[in-house]
């Protein structure tokens, strides 16, 4: 297999903040989790500052920017408020995601093709300050081509549907979805886009995604934080890292 490069693991620490906020306490601290993730082999930390601040808060972003050695991937919706925050902190990467208040997590991909001019204008200042801008999309060729046209450096392909099909035991449909993700990754790479993938990945679903040669980064959160209840955060990340490396070798 001709891999494009080493597969990076980005650990999403939003769910640590979810636990903290559920109790209204000052712990668990997302920065502490991020530092532990860094220690356990994460290549980057992902945090989503939502408009309603339901998990990560502004002060968490400030603490992550000040305290991390690995790159911060700042997930955000296309709003003026979030753009101003990203321009202030200048994170290594910005991942644009759709956001709806009523959703529990990022449910679908962005419609870049349907809003190309606005998206291009929105990401331009972020690109100008050196952020690697990523667009979180489905695997549809129309969306991928639009991301290349607006000047994004990266696309992150949404793996949520593939994972849901797996966990529902709908294996034939899962395999079709996986094949389409593979095609999407190859197409995005052919247009010069760096390819990332994420959402819903677990020990049961990560290997086929990690084995897609064009994929260079996975962003994983919920499962790792959930698994850390049983085996600890460091071991959960180290095991994910091991499984990714095994799928890649």
Q: Which positions are annotated as active-site residues?
A: 48, 75, 199
Q: What gap in Å lies between CA 128 and CA 14, rounded to an integer?
A: 27
Nearest alpha-carbon partner for 158 in 244, 35, 75 = 75
Choose which of 35, 135, 199, 240 interacts with ligand PXP (CB under 6 A). 199
- Is residue 198 within a helix (H) or strand (E), and if so which, with residue range? strand 194-198
Distances in Å between the Cα of 124 and the Cα atoms of 49, 112, 128, 190 are: 20, 14, 6, 22
Q: How far is the CB of 35 from ligand PXP (least distance, A)?
A: 19
Compute the least distance from the CB of residue 25 to ligand PXP, in Å: 22
Residue range at the interface with ligand PXP (CB under 6 A); choices 1-9, 54-62, 137-145, 199-207: 199-207
* 221 touching ligand PXP, by CB under 6 A: yes
Nearer to ligand PXP, 189 or 199 (CB): 199
Q: Supply the DSSP symbol for 111.
A: -
Tokens found for residue 51: 């408009």
Phi and psi of 2, rounded to 5°?
-100, 85
Question: What angle do the packed helices 160-167 and 171-190 form, to 10 degrees?
Answer: 160
The size of the chain, in residues, is: 249
Residue 111: how many CB atoms within 10 A of its CB?
16
* Residue 73 binds ligand PXP (CB under 6 A): no
The whole-angstrom separation of Cα 192 and Cα 75 is 22
Report the residue from 143, 205, 219, 228 that binds ligand PXP according to the rule CB under 6 A. 219
Q: Which is nearer to ligand PXP, 89 or 223 (CB)?
A: 223
Is 136 a residue that touches ligand PXP (CB under 6 A)? yes
Q: Quick one: tokens of 21?
A: 């906020």
Residues in the interface with ligand PXP (CB under 6 A) total 19
Residue 220 CB, shortest distance to ligand PXP, in Å, is: 4
Would you say 58 or 172 has its CB closer to ligand PXP? 58
Residues 138-157: x where in contact with ligand PXP by CB under 6 A, - otherwise, as a string? ------------------x-
Q: Is 105 in the site for ligand PXP (CB under 6 A)?
A: yes
Q: Which chain residues interact with ligand PXP by CB under 6 A?
A: 12, 14, 48, 75, 95, 97, 105-106, 136, 156, 198-201, 219-223
């Amino acid at each position: 297999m001709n891999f494009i490069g080493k597969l990076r693991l980005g650990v999403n620490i939003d769910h640590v903040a979810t636990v903290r906020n559920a109790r209204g306490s000052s712990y668990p601290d997302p920065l502490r989790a991020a530092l532990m993730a860094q220690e356990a082999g994460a290549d980057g930390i992902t945090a989503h500052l939502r408009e309603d601040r339901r998990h990560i808060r502004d002060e968490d972003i400030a603490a992550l920017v000040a305290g991390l050695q690995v790159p911060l991937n700042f997930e955000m919706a296309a709003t003026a408020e979030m753009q101003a925050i990203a321009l202030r902190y200048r994170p290594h990467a910005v991942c644009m995601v759709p956001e709806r208040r009523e959703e529990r997590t990022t449910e679908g991909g962005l419609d870049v093709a349907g809003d190309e001019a606005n998206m291009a204008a929105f990401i331009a200042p972020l690109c100008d300050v050196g952020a690697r801008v990523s667009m979180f999309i489905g695997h549809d060729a129309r969306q991928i081509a639009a991301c290349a046209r607006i000047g994004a450096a990266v696309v992150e392909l949404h793996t949520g549907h593939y994972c849901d099909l797996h966990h529902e035991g709908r294996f034939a449909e899962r395999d079709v979805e996986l094949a389409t993700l593979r095609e999407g990754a190859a197409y995005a790479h052919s247009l010069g886009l760096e390819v990332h993938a994420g959402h819903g990945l677990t020990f049961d679903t990560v290997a086929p995604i990690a084995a897609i040669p064009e994929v260079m980064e996975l962003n994983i959160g919920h499962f790792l934080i959930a698994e850390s209840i049983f085996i600890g955060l460091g071991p959960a990340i180290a095991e994910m890292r091991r499984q990714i490396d095994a799928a890649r070798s």
